[in-house]
Structures are given as C-alpha cells and as structure tokens.
Chain A
Amino acid sequence: MDHISPVIWQFLVKWLTNFALLPPEASKVAPQMDALLFFMVLVSLIGLTIVVLLVVSFSILYRKKRHPVAVQVEGSTLLEATWTIIPLGLFLVMFVWGALIYFRVYTPPANAMNIYVVGKQWMWKVEHPGGQHEINALHVPTGRAVQLTLISQDVFHSFSIPAFRVKREAIPGRYTTVWFEATTPGTYHLFCTQYCGTNHSQMIGDVVVMTPEEYRKWLTRSDSGASLAQDGERLFASLSCAACHNTRPDARGPSLANVYGAKLPLASGGTVIADDAYLREAILNPSQHVTQGYAPIMPTYQGQISEEGVIALIEFIKNLNSDYRIEQTVNTTEMPPGSEGAPGGKTPAAKGKVKP
C-alpha cells in the first residue's frame, strides 16, 4: 500500500464505502458469506463475458456482408458435454459452499446466549432473559454467540439484519432460530422482510452492537426489575400450574425440575428432547405431548397466554434446577378444591432435590 498515495487511498475507501455493494460486515459469518457472494459474482461475470464476447465476435466475423453463406454445423457432443459439466461443476461448488454456510447460520452453538423475539404487526418485541425489553431494537455484545428464538403473534414476518447477513422467518405457531456473533460495534439496520400488511415498511429498527463492557452497562440500566424467568414464575403461580406439576408422590403432572433439555419418554411411544418447541407445544397442545406414566388431563392454555407469556414460562422452566421455586408458588396459590395433600411448608432439604 505504500506505493499508493494516501490521498488516492482515502478517495478509494470513500468511494468504496459510499458505493458499497454490500452492507458493512459486522458478524463472524458475514465475511464468509461475502466470500461466496464474491465467487458467484466472479463466475457470473466470467460467464457473461464469455457469452457476450462470443455473441459479439460471431456477429462481427459472420455478419452477412462478410460471411454470406452459412455453414451448417449440426452440433458437437464434446462441446455439449463441456458446457454441461463445467457449469454443473461450478453450481455444485456453490451448492456445497452455500450449504455449509446455511448449516452454520442455522445451527447455534451450545453456549449461545438466547434472546427471544416476538414479531407482530407491526413491531418487533425483543425479550432478553434478564428482563430487558426492547421494541424495534436489539442490543448485543461483540464476541459472544447470540441465538435468537423467533415467533410471530399473527402473520409471517422475517427478522433481517443485513450487516450480519442473517435473516429468519418469524412464523405463527412455532419457534424458529438463528444465531450470530457480532464483531464490530455500531448501529445497523433491522428490517422485516416478509410482507405482513399495511406497515410492513415501518417494521424496521436498529441493531446496536456494543463492546462487552458497554453491554453490561446497558443491561443494568435497561433492567425492567424482573427477569423473564421471574415473570414466568409469576405466571406459573397465577395459572396454578403447581396444582399438578409439583413433587408430591401423587402429583398428577411430571415435575419440571431439570426437565429442560432432558430426554422425555412420551405416552404415545418414542422419546423427545424437551426443548423450547416441545415446551411450547406441551403448554398449548398438551394432549399430544403427554409424558409416559401420566394421564392426558392437562388442559390447553391456547388463547389464555400470549407468546410472551409462553416465553416467560419457558424461561422459568429452563432455570428450574430444583422444585423449591415451584413449591413456593404452591404456597402462594390456592390449591384447587378436591385435591389431596396439604399445601406444605416442607423444607427444601426434606425433599432432597435442591441444587446450589
């Protein structure tokens, strides 16, 4: 670079950023995706150049004035094979390379921190587990894998962060996930990219990437007072979930301690990993997701809880290492009439399940 005048270099950078063809690269996967995009542009340019060169040169060489009599050429199997195999080969390279990136983007690492996003007409509600709530904004730290768990309250939306090169549909009825690791502090666009009605183009916001230090400060000052898990605990109590999901020996529902991520045997046969999707389904469509050994008596809460409520409950269950907090909710709610067993003030130690 030392033989390029600094002035010219300044101009080049200015032009390149002003006439950028791609958004800034702000995540770990962005340069990887840009590399593939660059390869594709290159191949396309070469392909286009070949076609244009051939068409132009043939048009000049074989125009009627210069070449009045056409020579009939039937074809050439060799050429057919060449221009079948080479494009196919190039396309297959793009397929494999692209598939690798795709799997990378949609396979979150185990240590990713989770942030929930609920899309609705026409805003994004971002819920941090620590209880920070954002609308049309997303604050994330650099250097940390962040997983987004998305769902829509109404129609299809799509959460798009061009600078991170990630995008994922938010669908009503099921969770979708995507992950990224931000690399460069700054503010970037957040768009909804799936047409969702009148204010689709207003469903935009900012993704703010901060250094870990800044992020910690932001977390503290944006705290709403209760984490999602605490919200979930409150819901758990108000909906009387502990009436069945407790540790009594005759409990009508399975204990939820440590259930998140565990392998559950289902009453219908087979096993399932109790992840976010399973828990959501178990709350909304319980009769199809009954744990083995229990009767299908859980009522559905469809229509009684919002998606944010479900998320809060899931966060509560995720953080449940012991039944202590469940028992606390038992104490603070009334037991439904006709159920056996006295509401207990049994000490956690007596149940032998507390984990530090």
Chain B
Amino acid sequence: MQDSSIHAANAALPAHEEHPAYLRHHFNSAEQQADAAGFAMWLFLLTEVMFFGGLFTAYLIYRNWYYPAFVTGSHQLNVVWGATNTVVLIFSSFTMAMGVWCAQTRRRRGLVLCLALTFILGLSFLGIKTIEYREKIEKHHVPGFHYSLQSFLDPKSNPEVYAEYHDKPLEPDMARHTELYFSLYFLMTGMHALHMIIGIGILGFMILRARAGAYTTGHETFVVNFGLYWHFIDIVWIYLFALLYLISRH
C-alpha cells in the first residue's frame, strides 16, 4: 500500500521552522494532517454503518416475519412529511457541499451562508420530525407508553389513513406485532435524529468559526470532514425513508 503523504523532504524538522499555525506538531506536513483527518472520518463513518447495521438487521428479520403488521404500521406514517424531509435533507447536503466548495475557494461569506442554510434545513428536518412524533404520541403508537392496537384492529377508526389505504383489520396476534414495527421506527429514526442534533450543534459552532474566517485561510479540513458526516446522515435517512415509509409501495 502506498501513501503519497510521506515526503522525504519533510523528514528532518530541526528547530521550529516555518509552518502554518494549524499544523499540529506531531504531523510532518499539512498534507499529512489533512490526509490523516480525512481517513479518520471515513473510518468513523464505517463504524456508524456497523452501528446502524444492527438495527437494520433486526428490521429486516422482523419485516420478513410480520409483513402484514409492518405494512399496516407504515400506513400510519405520513408519506408527505417523510418525502418532504427527504427533499429537505438532500437539499441540505447540496448546501453543505456548496459550503465545502466555498471553504476550498476561500469564500468566507459564501461559506457562512451555506452553513447557515444547512443549519436551517437541518432544523426544519427536526421540526417536521417533531410534528410526526407528536402525531404518533397522540394516536398512542409509542411502544411502552399506552400503546394502542385500536388503529390496526379497526382501521376505520382512523379515517384519514383508512381513506388512503383501505386497510383490512388485522388479527389480534398480528396486530400485536405492529408494536415491534413502531419500536424499530422510533429506534431507527430516533438514533438518526440524535445524529442530526449532534450535527446541527457542530454546524452552529462552525458558523461562528467560519465568520471569524477559520476555514477560509487554507485549513478547510474540518468543513470537508463534517461534510462527509452530514452526507452520511443524509444517506441513512434515505434508507430509513424507503424502509419505513414506503413498505407497500412498488
């Protein structure tokens, strides 16, 4: 395996020679530092894949076993909100990518604007998620908190959903398994939302630093790597949307 970042020219570092302020002393060069940071972020994202992977495994198995319950459960989700959220996130990935370009081309104001837009879009995503969660709470579809099977034993009790899907009532033992569906729904979207919240927090921090010009003077590594993280969260959401919202659509 070759690594281009090791330069023999940088081999000797005698007394403190000229180097950018952001170069940490244990690195030989700025390229090596940026290279290492990028590699570390990709590796971290790989661990995130493994983390979500466990949840996806559970989902795949139970969806296979209890397909009717999963279908009926998914009909309780609002596809319009879900699709809107998907568009919001994709657009936020675009603004994030624009932000990275701004940082790399040293456009300070552009960078701040892009980060701010990403921030707002992220907040919108969380806002829509809050609306959706509230609806679930009102309908007693939260496992462990007065979970109610009413909507599945008697779909007509839920007029808007019934009008769209005309679900047949589920047998009680199959209806029980909708609780499993919603557990996975809250677990997977909740874990995703947690990552969003952390991302938005970091975005806030980045906006302040960007205004001070921290990322537009040649050291845009932080922005680039955060961009990777943000795109990853976006991709996870796309999978979640497809798996949780679109079960019975072909």
Direct A–B contact in the complex, CB atoms closer than 8 angstroms: yes
> In the complex, what residues of A have CB within 8 A of residue B173's CB?
284-288, 300, 302
* A296 at the B interface (CB under 8 A): yes
* B170 at the A interface (CB under 8 A): yes
Q: Nearest chain-A residue to B66 (Cβ)?
A: A288
* B172 at the A interface (CB under 8 A): yes
* B171 at the A interface (CB under 8 A): yes
**What total count of A-B pairs have CB within 8 Å?**
22
* A299 at the B interface (CB under 8 A): yes
Interface residues in B147-202 by Cβ distance below 8 A to A read: 170-174
> In the complex, what residues of B have CB within 8 A of residue A297's CB?
171
> In the complex, what residues of B have CB within 8 A of residue A284's CB?
173
CB distance from B69 to the nearest CB of A (A): 10
Q: Nearest chain-B residue to A298 (Cβ)?
A: B171
Q: How far is the CA of A285 from the CA of B68 in the complex (A)?
A: 13
Interface residues in A180-236 by Cβ distance below 8 A to B read: none
Q: How far is the CA of A299 from the CA of B170 in the complex (A)?
A: 11
CB distance from A278 to the nearest CB of B (A): 15
CB distance from B67 to the nearest CB of A (A): 9
> A288 touching B172 by the CB < 8 A rule?
no
> In the complex, what residues of A have CB within 8 A of residue B174's CB?
285, 287-288
Interface residues in A258-302 by Cβ distance below 8 A to B read: 284-288, 296-300, 302
Which has the most chain A C-beta neighbours within 10 Å: B66, B170, B173, B174?
B173
CB distance from B247 to the nearest CB of A (A): 17
CB distance from B29 to the nearest CB of A (A): 35
CB distance from B73 to the nearest CB of A (A): 15
Q: Nearest chain-B residue to A284 (Cβ)?
A: B173
> In the complex, what residues of B have CB within 8 A of residue A299's CB?
171-172
Interface residues in B59-77 by Cβ distance below 8 A to A read: 66
Q: How far is the CA of A285 from the CA of B172 in the complex (A)?
A: 9
Which has the most chain B C-beta neighbours within 10 Å: A297, A298, A300?
A300
> In the complex, what residues of A have CB within 8 A of residue B171's CB?
286-287, 296-300
CB distance from B68 to the nearest CB of A (A): 8
CB distance from B233 to the nearest CB of A (A): 36
> In the complex, what residues of B have CB within 8 A of residue A298's CB?
171
Q: How far is the CA of A191 from the CA of B171 in the complex (A)?
A: 41
Q: How far is the CA of A287 from the CA of B172 in the complex (A)?
A: 8
Q: How far is the CA of A297 from the CA of B172 in the complex (A)?
A: 10
Q: How far is the CA of A285 from the CA of B170 in the complex (A)?
A: 12
> In the complex, what residues of B have CB within 8 A of residue A300's CB?
171-173
Interface residues in A287-323 by Cβ distance below 8 A to B read: 287-288, 296-300, 302
Q: Nearest chain-A residue to B174 (Cβ)?
A: A287
Q: How far is the CA of A299 from the CA of B171 in the complex (A)?
A: 8
Q: 22 A-B contacts, Cβ less than 8 Å apart?
A: A284-B173, A285-B173, A285-B174, A286-B171, A286-B173, A287-B170, A287-B171, A287-B172, A287-B173, A287-B174, A288-B66, A288-B173, A288-B174, A296-B171, A297-B171, A298-B171, A299-B171, A299-B172, A300-B171, A300-B172, A300-B173, A302-B173
Interface positions of B (Cβ within 8 A of A):
66, 170-174
**Known pairs A286-B173, A287-B171, A300-B173 / 5 extra A-B pairs, C-beta < 8 Å:** A284-B173, A286-B171, A287-B172, A297-B171, A298-B171
For the complex of A and B, list the 8 residue pairs with the smallest distance between their C-beta atoms, beginning with the closest.
A287-B171, A300-B173, A287-B174, A285-B173, A287-B173, A296-B171, A300-B172, A286-B173
